[in-house]
Amino acid sequence: MEIVLIILVFIALLLFIVWLPFFKGISKGANNLSAQENPKSNIRDETNVELYKEHKAEIEKDFSDGGIDEESYQYLLTELDSSLLQDIEAAKKESNVIVSSKGFSVLWPLSLSLFIIAFSVALYLKQGTLTALIATPSADQANQPAKMSDDQRAQQEKMLAYITKLQQHLEKNEDDGEAWYNLGQTLVSAGEFTMSIKAFEQVIRIEGEQADLLGAIAQAHYYQKNQQIDEQVQNLIDRALALDINDPSTNILLGMHNFIAQEYEKSIGYWQRVIDAKRQGVNSNALQEAVNEAKSRLGLPNVNSSKSVQSAPTKPEVTGPKLTVSVSLADDVVQQLAQGEDRVVFIYAIPTDGQRMPLAALKLMASDLPKVVTLSNDNAMSPANNLSSVSNVNIYAIVSKLGGVGIKSGDFKAEIQNISVNNTEIINLVVDSFVE
């Protein structure tokens, strides 16, 4: 759709450029004809003579008053005489112009317009499809060798064929979330980040906001912006981790970003979190190799990747503050929730200094309540921002209406302010407030 709009805009611009001289010529001819038919056309000559006399009188006065020297005086008079002669000659030429109704033919702008339209349609039919756009070399690809190996060419053709197949399928099955997700991932591999983001947004439309989808969109924006985490990317990362602290795509992105910045300890923390989660579809061996590389740059011993995946090492005990929170629903809230579908519940702690980035967060369902949970450094959004980094926190429990992070209208909430991170007693949170 975008390429069609671009083509239409360019066609309109070209047609405007083509026809503008034609209409200007008609307008000018009409003006000249009216000037010829006007018996007072010599008024211009008389005006020029009057202006000449006034300017000459001013020059002579300046000379007599000593404002200009002899050389400047003669130069100005010469220029004034020349200007008068030019104006008179121009007036004579214009008076001799005979405007002909056939002098500016409509055939040439009409012919050129038809050519522009025909050429644009032919160009779109040839290269307007998604496959042709992807196959067109980008600016980065233009700097690469022109010749590709047979394997690279075969892989590219296979990718384009797969994209075409997914497109054809989605034309008939617009609500196939899995197909949209596969299309988004393939488009990222093809370097078409804008289109991949739109594909992932279609999955969110169908399946709702999920951590892996927000992480995938964050990755696409990150690559599109030359591996920079700006406010938009950071917002997507925060939302993804609030939904799932162990989301692979988001943690892998953060690990890679910190590795590039030579923050190797942070990159190890993000990658190790994904390895320990043991999610399906994650190449843990490759991640362990990345962790080993980061450790080698820190001068730390490596871990054998095959052993780390095959064995199930005992997870080390979490150190640092541990806040025990008992979360329950008020009776009237239970009655209201019983009338609808199960809702997502977010339990999190934030600093008391006004920052909104959670230091620890958990995600439950309303049907899981009442329940006692523990907020600790193991639930941290990032290794550098956890409960150990502050002395006091505000704790929230949010029953989300739409399933997204943050406090929005229609949610139910409970909160407790200024709790010490060293608190060892059970903290009771009763969700009883409706957010207007």
The DSSP line for 34-51 is HHHH-TTTTHHHHHHHHH
pLDDT in tens, 209-232: 888 889 889 989 988 888 889 999
Cβ proximity of 352 and 392 under 8 Å: yes
Q: Choose among 106, 113, 58, 100: nearest CA to 80.
A: 58
Residue 413 sits at φ, ψ, to 5 deg, of -145, 160
Q: What is the pLDDT of residue 409?
A: 83
Q: How many CB atoms lie within 10 A of CB 370?
A: 12
Q: Look at residue 279 in the predicted model and tell me its pLDDT.
A: 78
pLDDT tens digits, one per residue of 232-276: 999 999 999 999 898 888 988 898 888 888 888 898 999 899 899
- pLDDT number for residue 396: 93
- Average pLDDT of the chain? 76
Q: What is the largest CA-CA distance in the chain?
A: 108
> pLDDT, tens digit, for every residue of 380-417?
766 667 888 889 999 999 998 887 667 888 889 999 99
Mean pLDDT by 10-residue block, N- to C-terminus, for the chain (436 residues)?
A: 59 64 60 50 62 73 74 71 66 53 56 67 53 45 50 74 87 87 84 90 90 89 87 92 89 87 88 85 80 84 52 52 92 87 89 79 88 86 75 92 78 93 92 89
Helix or strand holding residue 398 (H, E): strand 392-400
Look at residue 412 in the predicted model and tell me its pLDDT. Answer: 92
Q: Which amino acid is at 259?
A: F
Beta carbons of 211 and 250 less than 8 angstroms apart: yes
Is CATH 3.40.190.80 the classification given to domain 152-310?
Answer: no
Q: Residue 181 in contact with residue 205, Cβ under 8 Å?
A: no
